[in-house]
């Protein structure tokens, strides 16, 4: 089925006008467009482009046919938490009070709080889940890796920790 893909925001610079592709799902249309256009290649500084597909709030919607035969790609806003707004307002207030009162310390403190709020907005939010598996049974610093990771071979003399090739113990308590 023919699908028209519209690029919005700074993506519009990558190709003029809509792009027509033959795709059965929204995900297939997005993959076809992003792999063909050189503007979607990963950047060495920013990494990959973050894309929002209009009308696809859930992942399941990406694997359905395009509604009305149209897909709209919008750049996704990246940033951290909303807590930076309060910090920015506090910084601006301290700068204003310091300016009118003639207190240099308040100007400096306000500027630092303001810049901290801006940097907090620009930082990505940390993941809630810690993907690193930690064991309570292994003490002291040692080199441990997941199953399937390549094992380097060292030549000469080097001081490295141990490497567990197989250590997976689960204790199930039933009561």
Categorize the per-residue pLDDT at 15 as very low, low, confident or very high, splitting at 50, 70 and 90: confident
Is residue 41 helix, strand or coil? coil
Domain spans in the chain, listed from the N-terminal domain onward: 2-75, 84-122
CA–CA separation, 57 and 68 (whole Å): 17
CA–CA separation, 37 and 19 (whole Å): 10
Of the listed ranges 11-15, 48-52, 115-119, the least confidently predicted one is 48-52
Torsion angles phi and psi, residue 146, rounded to 5: -80, 165
Contact 71, 29 (CB under 8 A): yes
Whole-number pLDDT of residue 13: 87
Average pLDDT, the chain: 77
- The CA-atom distances, in angstroms, between 140 and each of 144, 161, 170 are 11, 9, 21
Whole-number pLDDT of residue 164: 56
Side-chain half-sphere CA neighbours of 58 within 13 A: 4
| Choices 1.10.150.20, 3.20.190.10, 3.20.20.80, 3.10.20.30: CATH for 2-75 | 3.10.20.30
Mean pLDDT within 18-23 = 90
């Amino acid at each position: 089925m023919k699908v028209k893909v519209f690029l919005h925001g700074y993506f519009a610079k990558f190709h003029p006008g809509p792009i027509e592709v033959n795709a059965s799902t929204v995900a297939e249309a997005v993959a076809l467009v992003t792999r063909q256009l050189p503007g979607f290649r990963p950047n060495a500084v920013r990494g990959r482009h973050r894309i929002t597909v209009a009308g696809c709030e859930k992942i399941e919607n990406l694997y359905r046919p395009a509604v009305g035969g149209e897909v709209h790609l919008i750049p996704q806003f990246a940033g951290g938490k909303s807590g930076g707004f309060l910090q920015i307002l506090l910084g601006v207030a301290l700068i204003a009070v310091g300016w009118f009162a003639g207190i240099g310390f308040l100007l400096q403190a306000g500027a630092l709080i303001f810049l901290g709020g801006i940097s907090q907005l620009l930082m990505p939010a940390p993941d809630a889940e810690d993907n690193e598996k930690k064991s309570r049974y292994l003490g002291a610093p040692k080199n441990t890796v997941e199953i399937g990771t390549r094992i380097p071979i060292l030549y000469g003399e080097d001081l490295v920790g141990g490497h567990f090739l197989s250590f997976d113990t689960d204790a199930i308590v039933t009561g």
